[in-house]
């Protein structure tokens, strides 16, 4: 290896459930990196889930088919993790090399990482093989675990997105229905040829429609493309390049995220370049032409079917990559791969049952980069076939099984305008969202903060002009909790109004009909009834004799936010609050509660809400002896539990 910098493995993540048992050098994880990241940088761990019958060896064919679909162009397999001792690193390198050969073909001479994990230790040891040669391994002297993970990936990275609807007309003889496969293959090859045609035209434009300084679109012609470039060896553009034409423009031409004050690093907030394919040439011809129709009679009875396909490709790129290489080395290979994937999925049942396949892009928590998944839309999302597909994906990505992270409603939506003002994107909603982000610290010395995970909407008194001041705080807390379940896609129901909440309690027999339209308070028990009825959500209720005893529940509340991560309702007397987290020092017992106060009655002004203390850290007794909670009141804590659903 050339120098010490290239001898360091950089980890942007750690695999879940790393500790492995057994004496066989089984392959447990695949290592994913990118040619746009520093050498030997691991961006994610994908679990190996397919093995050969009666063997611990990976089924490389199935693994390659899955990874070819899941990994966006711009990411690639760079290694593997095996269990065992140092000698088993060779098995990891061999496996990674074999899989790379299936994914990328011959000539993949980049370094391959082989990592091993002992049966009694969760520590990873890394080795590197130049050119995938497993006979020569070098131990990695240092491993760097990066701190700002999203920043490492997205500060100098962007996304490219391309949608391409295709209609494939397929003719076949009724006497020989198998001819339809040949017709499909020929039609697909014709599309691939058009994508690589020198006369093809690609238009690139920014997907950010909210900026006042949107650069004009860029046109790349097929004749400008280079299909044999190696992304890891492409030289970036010179800093003093004036960008006078498309050949000298890089992806940074469409960059907005690097501007000061807009740094939220994630796939959702990444700069996205929209790529459109224009098959018709812009070139003009001096010769006069007229439309021509040709007639080809068939020798026997034939049938025509038209297959509708919508390719939808997402790629990751460095901002410094020239646009022409972004098209030739990312977008076009992505479209070709996706067309081949669709072809393989469709052909077996093309005549009997026309599959309805669509690709979706997800950015699940814990995975820094997007993934792409194909779903068969003929199945409902709750049907077992679809559930098993998602369960398999959760297993590969190390995602929990009690969270619907890969349902269609969780997919990235590039049709939505990028919005940085914290307003909820839910249809018809103008509520503030995630208002606790960026608030001042709690003041707990050396405490551990455990917070709500996921988004919620802030419901408070007088929202939408409904006057519930003095009695509706528990209703508002319930609405905030339901909005959390809605935004995490556990449910698609609208957040219920006060009257609908009352109607629900009457329907289950908890209240008399006269309760509807009243201004009666409700508490934790009523909230649990409504959540069970409307969402199928069970709740845990903790009773506290007074506000002064709330700190005794901090450890239990911290575990709730770490494991369930749902908002909590605190009810005492005539007051109710929404709890979004706790900051707790177990050694000293010092703690603070992150309170979202539904008693706020002013306009939805984020600064006013935070500065006024309507969302912030509260101590049961602060350093001035002031009591936030009423110590002479009985308190209930309502802890909603996540449903077990994939």
DSSP string, 103-128: HH-S---S-EEEEEE-TT---EEEEE
Specify whether 361 is catalytic.
Answer: no
**Number of Cβ atoms within 10 Å of the Cβ of 530:** 24
- Unique residue bearing structure tokens 């209930």: 636
Task: Dig out the tokens for 258 from the structure.
Answer: 């690097």
- Tokens 């040829």 sit at which residue? 193
C-alpha to C-alpha distances, 498 to 473, 518, 531, 544, 599, nearest whole angstrom: 11, 9, 14, 27, 15
Q: Look up residue 109 and give its two tokens.
A: 């001479």
* CB 77, CB 92: distance < 8 Å: no
Distance CA 129, CA 461 (A): 63
Which of 415, 425, 471 minimizes the C-alpha distance to 599?
A: 471
Of these residues, 434, 532, 599, 631, which one is catalytic? 599
Q: Compute the distance between CA of residue 453 and CA of residue 434 in angstroms, rounded to an integer.
A: 10
161 catalytic residue (yes or no): no
3-state secondary structure 553-569: HHHHHHHHHHHCCCCEE
Give the pairing type, strands 76-83 and 27-33: antiparallel
Helix (H) or strand (E) holding 335, with range, is helix 332-346
Q: Which residues contact 628 (CB under 8 A, 6 or more apart)?
A: 547, 593, 595, 618, 619, 620, 621, 622
Give the DSSP per-residue string, 346-369: HGGGTTTS---EEEEEE--TT-SS
Task: Give the strand order in the sheet containing 27-33.
Answer: 44-47, 27-33, 76-83, 112-117, 124-129, 138-139
Residues 6+ apart with CB under 8 A from 205: 216, 217, 218, 254, 273, 274, 276
Residue of 66, 271, 468, 597 marked active site: 597
Spell out where 34-184 has E strands: 41-42, 44-47, 76-83, 112-117, 124-129, 138-139, 142-145, 157-173
Please indicate whether residue 337 is annotated as part of the active site.
no
Instruction: Quickly list DSSP for 368-411.
Output: SS-EEEEEETTS-TTSHHHHHHHHHHHHHHT--TTS-TTSGGGS
Could you tell me if 486 and 426 are in contact, meaning their C-beta atoms sit under 8 angstroms apart? Answer: yes
The token pair at 493 is 């129901």
If one counts every other C-beta atom within 10 angstroms of the C-beta of residue 539, the result is: 21
At 82, phi and psi to the nearest 5?
A: -120, 160
Choosing from 152, 251, 473, 539, the catalytic residue is 473
**Which of the residues are catalytic?**
473, 597, 599
């Amino acid at each position: 290896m050339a120098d010490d910098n290239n001898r360091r493995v950089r980890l942007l993540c750690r695999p879940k459930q790393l500790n492995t048992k057994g004496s066989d050098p089984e392959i447990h994880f695949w290592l994913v990196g990118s040619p746009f990241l520093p050498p030997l940088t691991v961006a994610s761990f994908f679990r190996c889930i397919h093995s050969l019958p009666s063997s611990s060896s990976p089924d490389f064919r199935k693994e390659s088919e899955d990874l070819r679909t899941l990994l966006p162009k711009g990411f690639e397999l760079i290694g593997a993790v095996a269990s065992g001792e140092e000698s088993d690193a060779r098995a990891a390198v061999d496996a990674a090399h074999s899989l790379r050969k299936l994914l990328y073909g011959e000539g993949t001479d980049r370094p391959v990482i082989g990592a091993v994990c002992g049966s009694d230790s969760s520590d990873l040891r890394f080795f590197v093989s130049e050119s995938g040669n497993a006979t020569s391994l070098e131990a990695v002297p240092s491993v760097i675990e990066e701190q700002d993970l999203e920043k490492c990936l997205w500060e100098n990275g962007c996304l490219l997105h391309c949608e391409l609807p295709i209609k494939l007309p397929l003719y076949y003889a009724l006497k020989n229905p198998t001819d339809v496969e040949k017709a499909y293959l020929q039609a697909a090859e014709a599309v691939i040829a058009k994508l690589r045609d020198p006369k093809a035209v690609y238009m690139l434009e920014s997907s950010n429609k909210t900026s006042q300084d949107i650069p004009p679109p860029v046109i790349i012609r097929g004749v400008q493309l280079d299909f044999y470039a190696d992304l890891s060896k492409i030289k970036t553009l010179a800093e003093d390049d004036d960008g006078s034409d498309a050949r000298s423009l890089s992806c940074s031409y469409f960059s907005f995220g690097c501007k000061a004050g807009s740094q939220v690093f994630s796939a959702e907030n990444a700069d996205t370049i929209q790529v459109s394919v224009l098959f018709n040439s812009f070139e003009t011809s001096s010769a006069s032409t007229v439309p021509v129709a040709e007639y080809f009679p068939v020798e026997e009875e034939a049938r025509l079917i038209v297959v509708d396909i919508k390719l939808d490709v997402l790629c990751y790129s460095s901002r410094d990559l020239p646009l022409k290489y972004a098209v030739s080395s990312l977008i076009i290979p992505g479209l070709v791969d996706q067309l081949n994937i669709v072809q393989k999925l469709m052909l077996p049942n093309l005549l009997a049952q026309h599959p309805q396949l669509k690709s979706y892009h997800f950015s699940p928590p814990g995975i820094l980069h997007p993934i792409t998944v194909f779903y068969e839309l003929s199945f409902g999302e709750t049907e077992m076939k679809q559930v098993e597909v998602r369960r398999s994906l959760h297993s590969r990505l190390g995602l929990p099984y009690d969270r619907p992270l890969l349902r269609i409603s969780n997919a990235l939506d590039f049709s939505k305008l990028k919005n940085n003002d914290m307003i909820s994107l839910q249809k018809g909603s103008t509520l503030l969202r995630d208002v606790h982000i960026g608030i001042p610290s709690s003041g707990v010395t050396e405490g551990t903060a455990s917070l709500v995970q996921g988004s919620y909407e802030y419901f408070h008194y007088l929202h939408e002009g409904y006057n519930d001041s003095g009695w509706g705080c528990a209703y508002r807390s319930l609405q905030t909790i339901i909005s959390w379940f809605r935004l995490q896609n556990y449910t698609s129901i609208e957040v219920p109004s006060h009257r609908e909440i009352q109607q629900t309690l009457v329907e289950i027999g908890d209240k008399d009909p006269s309760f509807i339209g009243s201004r009666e308070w409700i508490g934790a028990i009523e909230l649990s009834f409504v959540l069970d009825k409307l969402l199928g959500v069970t709740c845990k209720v903790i009773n506290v004799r007074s506000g002064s005893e709330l700190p005794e529940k901090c450890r239990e509340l911290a575990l709730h936010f770490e494991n369930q991560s749902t908002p909590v309702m605190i009810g005492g007397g005539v007051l109710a609050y929404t709890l979004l987290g706790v900051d707790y020092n177990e050694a000293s017992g010092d703690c603070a509660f992150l309170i979202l106060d539904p008693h706020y009655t002013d306009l939805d002004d984020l600064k006013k809400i935070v500065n006024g203390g309507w969302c912030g850290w509260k101590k049961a007794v602060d350093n001035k002896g002031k009591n936030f909670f009423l110590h002479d009141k009985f308190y209930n804590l309502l802890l909603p539990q996540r449903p077990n659903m994939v």
